[in-house]
Amino acid sequence: MGIGVSELLIILAIVVVLFGTKRLRSIGGDLGGAIKSFKTAIKDGSEDKAVSESDTESAGGETSANKNEKA
């Protein structure tokens, strides 16, 4: 007993009547921009993590706690 095609069309028609096509276009653009920036942030975060892990390995495996103890 899921939602059929006719029910989806009725819901879509109601949404278009309530918001209008211009408002729906702007909502879609805003949502697309938000998703794009979220994906970019996730990608940058994983790259930063990989860089920090490679820095740790290049320092002879010393962690920042070990470096502070030596100083």
Q: pLDDT, tens digit, for every residue of 8-61?
A: 999 999 999 998 988 989 999 999 999 999 999 998 887 777 777 776 666 655
CB of 16 within 8 A of CB of 24?
Answer: yes
Tell me, what's the pLDDT at 30?
95
Q: How confident is the model at residue 5 (pLDDT cuts 50, 70, 90)?
A: very high
**Residue range of the domain that includes 59:** 5-70
d(CA 54, CA 56): 5
SS3 60: coil
pTM beyond cutoff 0.85: no
CB of 27 within 8 A of CB of 19?
Answer: yes
Tally of structural domains, the chain: 1
